[in-house]
Chain A
Amino acid sequence: MRCKVFVSYPFFMGLSKATSIPLQESSKSLASDDDIALVTKAQQGDLDSFDALTLKHRDRLMSVIYNMTSNSEDAADLTQEAFVKAFRSIGRFKGKSSFFTWLYRIGVNVTLSHLQKNRSRRFFSLDNLSEEVNQETAFEVLASRSKADRGTLLNELQEKLNEALQKLSNKHRAIVVLFEIEGHSHKQISEIMKCSEGTVRSRLHYAKQQLQGYLSEYLK
């Protein structure tokens, strides 16, 4: 059979009425100019622009997901999944929040859904700690009090920290990760998690109380 070759065009999902809705004026300040330009092109079907958005945000998104799962392989897979979902939904992104907030929301939801589905089979696969941790004051303090060598202490500490985080509920852990590790504001987290700032603050407070108990041996 002879098959005719057709145009090669990165046509993709989201070809609904939302596709043609421009970013709202009032929300433009929430997203970086670079992101807005790339998102607009991506909404017009430019896969290269979406690739650029992927390259720009993948490190931080994977970091969030890794810290929520404590599993580097799962984090890589879920980051892929989040980007594919974002790609399919980019036509529906209306710029009411910044692109990264929207992307993080997808990433957090994908991860929460994964954690919910796999609650009975969870195991750690931890990333390496960079050498720079040795310069961190908190680690120096711990090292000065420990009889173990630094390498052993680091491994033990990393495991305990991840264990403690995994003891939290998924939603409490997500908020701790976004605030304490990723450095997002309460407002940004409330947008990502779709809850009020008050809820973010109270969950954070409760989660830290829990962590204080789980990590008490290091806080003496």
Chain B
Amino acid sequence: MKQTNTKSEEFFESNPLTVEDLLRLKRFEQPNPDSWDGFQAEFRRKAMESVVVEPVESGTWRRIVLRWFAPTFGMGAIAAALLIFTGGSLIDSNKSLTSNSSQIALGNDADTLLQVSSAVAESRDGEFVDGAIELTFADDVDGVVTGFMGKSIRFASDEATFEESTLTLFASDSVQQVNPVTF
């Protein structure tokens, strides 16, 4: 112990401690290994949640019929379709829908009006610029009504303008309801 002290005192005399020396000690702070338990699973859950379409309130929509859509289509085609959507202009309408997207009535879909809420942009710490929700339905070969909703929103943050999109797939064997599946 005495030897250590002597060595340290000598060192200290010739090398006084600096702020950098002290800060370097913080590198030895280590998180509890348990803190990673479930991290990836939680990340996956949050990541998937982050792409779920939020309930919509009212406003603006554009109907595009995609008769060619079927589950066998590659996602590239769907993505391309969504890109077409997001590049399109908005058509305003006066009617509105207050709905959870799981309860959209197919019989009235032509009149369904949806809007991207500015609250979505705010939840991303940004300011709403513009956005669109597009909805389409079709019967597939089994008589099941299918459809999907594409949502695009542009918002500006401190640093840049961002755009994000989601795609929700609907399915039902009833003309009363559709159930959403969001990817």
Contacts and interface: CB of A to CB of B under 8 A. Distances in A.
A144 B1 CA distance: 9
Interface string A82-95: 01100111001000
Interface string A124-154: 0011111011001111111111000000000
Given A47-B44, A55-B40, A76-B35, A219 B24 contact: no
Contacts of A80: 39, 42-43, 46
B4 to A, nearest CB: 7
B179 interface: yes
A141 B23 contact: no
Contacts of B28: 129-130, 132-133, 136
| Most chain A CB atoms below 10 A, which of B22, B50, B146 | B22
B166 A13 contact: yes
Given A47-B44, A72-B32, A88-B50, A139 B25 contact: yes
A161 interface: yes
A180 B24 contact: yes
A157 interface: yes
Contact of B173 (A1, A15, A55): A1
A62 interface: yes
Q: How large is the interface on A (under 10, 10 to 19, 20 to 34, 35 or more residues)?
A: 35 or more
A17 B83 contact: yes
B82 interface: yes
B39 to A, nearest CB: 7
| Most chain A CB atoms below 10 A, which of B26, B47, B50, B86 | B26
Interface string B22-59: 11111111111001100110111011001100000000
Interface residues of B, number: 63
Interface in A48-78: 50-51, 54-55, 58, 62-63, 66-67, 72, 75-76
A143 B167 contact: no
A13 B4 CA distance: 58
B79 interface: yes
B48 to A, nearest CB: 8
A113 B123 CA distance: 13
Interface stretch (B12-20, B111-119, B127-135): B12-20
B43 A54 contact: yes
Nearest to A160: B22
29 contacts: A3-B171, A4-B71, A9-B183, A12-B183, A13-B164, A15-B83, A15-B86, A15-B167, A19-B79, A50-B47, A51-B40, A51-B43, A54-B43, A67-B26, A80-B42, A80-B46, A87-B50, A89-B162, A113-B125, A126-B29, A142-B17, A144-B12, A161-B26, A162-B26, A180-B23, A180-B24, A181-B27, A215-B22, A219-B18
Pairs A-B, 10 closest by C-beta atoms: A11-B183, A144-B8, A133-B28, A138-B21, A4-B171, A180-B23, A127-B29, A15-B165, A16-B163, A144-B5
Interface of A: 1-4, 6-7, 9-19, 45, 47, 50-51, 54-55, 58, 62-63, 66-67, 72, 75-76, 80-81, 83-84, 87-89, 92, 109, 113, 126-130, 132-133, 136-145, 157-158, 161-162, 165, 176, 180-181, 194, 208, 211-212, 215, 218-219
